[in-house]
Amino acid sequence: MRRLRAALLLCGFALFTLPLMPLQFLLLRLWPGAAARFPHWYHRQLCRWLRFQVHAKGPVPQHGPALIASNHVSWIDIIALSAVLPCSFIAKREVAGWPLFGALAKLQRTVFVDRDRRGGTGQSRDEIAGRLRQGDILVLFPEGTSHTGQRVLPFRSSYFGAADDPAIPVIPVAMAYRGLRGLPMSRRERPFYAWYGGMDLAPHLWQALQDGPLVIDVIFHDALHSDSRHGRKALSAAAEASVRHSLAAALHGR
């Protein structure tokens, strides 16, 4: 029964998604404003179909510019965050070459960064800064990798420099995967949804869709701002502390 449920969810995902991809492509060319909002609508529908119960808490930004600094648990983060607000993501360059998901990332105007090339950080930071100046909301996963969702890895400060303008807020966000089938998610169940390490995406996706509904809290904090005394490292440390505190509180029911 669980496998049948997962198969139906995957079929529904394909039937819903594939016809909408050419539409988003046209919107990007003809109506950029609508193209920025369309993924927000799409991911809200996807959450309903996949039975992801996403609860936004705290001051959700209504418009850009803003740099969201979030912990990273799974591919589900993309769906949950985009269902809460219209945004684009900052992702490693390899994602652009992934089958289907790379195309979806491009259609959502993802900024692809090269973390491995020594000279790539400055160029990527400038591209992120340019998008922020245009009024976009961009999501950065400053841990640099996904994890179990049980704790927060140290934030890397490299791309916080893109928000060195005090007019551009940095908003810490905690992704807390806290419920499954109406009960608190156990440590044993967490790897079914957290995608990290050397996990292959296809079998992990298949496993994740066999259960549910999944409850995710998306916890927004008050905005941080750069100034002459607080540069990118201070912004990174403050964002990490906020996310670490609220994640622990959410997972322990406080």
Q: What is the pLDDT of residue 228?
A: 58
Q: Furthest-apart CA pair in the chain: how many Å?
A: 59
Residue with tokens 């169940």: 189
Q: How are beta strands 214-220 and 52-57 bridged, if at all?
A: parallel
Q: Quote the CA–CA distance of 189 and 196 in Å, as a whole number.
A: 14
Residue 231's identity, in one-letter code, is: G
Instruction: Please provide the size of the chain in residues.
Output: 254
Place of tokens 């930071």: 125
DSSP 176: E
Residue 113 DSSP one-character state: E
Q: Closest Cα to residue 203, out of 15, 53, 3? A: 3
pLDDT tens digits for range 164-198:
888 999 999 999 998 887 778 878 777 778 777 67
Q: Give the model confidence (pLDDT) of 82-106 as tens digits.
A: 999 999 999 999 999 999 999 999 9
**118 has pLDDT over 70:** no
**Pairing mode of beta strands 66-70, 170-180:** parallel
- Per residue in 68-86, pLDDT (tens digit) is 999 999 899 999 999 999 9
> Topology of 2-251 in CATH?
Glycerol-3-phosphate (1)-acyltransferase (3.40.1130)
Which of 96-110, 140-154, 199-213 is most confident?
96-110
Look-up of token digits 């179990």: 148
d(CA 190, CA 179): 10
- Specify which residues 111 forms β-bridges with: 90
Among candidate residues 208, 207, 188, the one with its CA nearest the CA of residue 148: 188
Mean pLDDT of the chain: 90
Q: Which two tokens stand for residue 71?
A: 């912990």
